[in-house]
Amino acid sequence: CHANATDCGMMLPFYSVLAKRLRVRVAAVEYAGYGAATGAPSVSDAFADAEAAYDELLARGTPAERIVAYGQSIGSAPACRLAARRSVRGVVLHSPIASGLRAISLGGCCAPASVLGCMEPFQNVRHMRKIECPSLIIHGTADEEIPIAHAKMLYAAARRAAPPFWVKGAGHNDVVEHSEEEY
């Protein structure tokens, strides 16, 4: 599940390298209203798109125990929700958000995440507490767009967290470039 300011076409070179280097097949999820997909973007459609991709993989003969949900940035939301609701082998979250409201505001008792928490569309921390498979969280230490505190909240909430991969000096969009081999 890709990030907000991109689409599957833009991510194709990355997915291609990832598939080749890891010797895996990559099924990319395109959200309604992104790239060549029809419709308008919405939270519910992003979740439904991830579920539909999962169902398609199962229909094509991929067993659930071979599926790893991968979500980057806001794509962490459909990946977390999918893994909390369906059986997957693992979850990889790259520069994830803890929640949508936390991503757009600073903390504090009057912050939107505190005041409007019941209306939160991207409940990654809540979903993370339900995920039973191993979870790997990757985040840049210098990310000013989505601070590493988001990743640390998710790591603390994970039931089966792998050691996190904190990429020293990396921002939101250059984690791979900072540490390609380790990534």
Residue listed under structure tokens 């936390």:
102
Cβ contact 17:91 at 8 Å: no
Element (H, E) at 139: strand 135-140
Quickly list DSSP for 36-66.
Answer: T--S---HHHHHHHHHHHHHHHHHTT--GGG
Residue 110: other Cβ atoms inside 10 A: 9
Q: Would you please indicate which residues are annotated as catalytic (active-site) residues?
A: 73, 143, 172
Q: Phi and psi at residue 94, in whole multiples of 5°? A: -110, 115
SS3 101: helix
